[in-house]
């Protein structure tokens, strides 16, 4: 009795994860930095900034699932106080310690804030903050323990 599966070539292979965890973390932080750059630029120009994401919803009547596009809320990592703008880089909810005991960057203006965000983005892409991101990642993972 010949089956339809007998015509297929079946093997035993374990799927390899191609993304490096460090690269994944850097990509995640770069994506968030891009959002902050967009938010800062929009605030400087007096515009509204929104990021869209897909959300799965179920229709009450038919029970069919569909995807809709909704706005994602973005919390600013920067604030202004005494005519100076301050910036904290975050990984998840943890603020990254950029130097020993220091976690905030001081900027003189909105223009300097945008330049600083672009500079931090290139530093993350270049691997300068890998150790800091790893330390923050460990702290974030600790919260998921028992």
The C-alpha angle 23, 25, 29, rounded to 5 degrees, equals 115
Overall average pLDDT of the 10-35 stretch? 84
pLDDT: which is higher, 3 or 46: 46
Domain coordinates in residue numbering, the chain = 20-142
DSSP letter string over 35-52?
Answer: HHHHHHHHHHHT----EE
73-113, pLDDT tens digit by residue?
A: 889 999 998 889 999 999 888 888 888 889 999 999 888 99
- Which pLDDT score is estimated for 19? 66
Q: Are strands 84-87 and 51-58 parallel, antiparallel or unpaired?
A: unpaired
CA distance 139 to 49: 30
Q: What's the CA gap between 65 and 68, in Å, rounded?
A: 10
């Amino acid at each position: 009795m010949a089956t339809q599966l007998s015509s297929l070539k079946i093997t035993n292979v374990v799927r390899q994860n191609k993304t490096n965890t460090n690269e994944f973390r850097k990509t995640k932080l770069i994506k968030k930095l891009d959002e902050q750059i967009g938010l800062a630029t929009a605030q400087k120009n007096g515009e509204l900034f929104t990021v869209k994401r897909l959300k799965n919803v179920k229709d009450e009547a038919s029970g069919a699932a569909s995807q809709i596009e909704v706005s994602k809320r973005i919390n600013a990592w920067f604030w202004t106080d005494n005519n100076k703008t301050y910036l904290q880089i975050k990984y998840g909810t943890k603020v990254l310690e950029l130097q020993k005991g220091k976690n905030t960057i001081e900027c003189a203006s909105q223009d300097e804030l945008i330049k600083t965000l672009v500079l931090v983005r290139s530093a993350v892409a270049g691997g300068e903050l890998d150790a800091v991101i790893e330390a923050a990642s460990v702290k974030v993972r600790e919260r998921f323990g028992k």
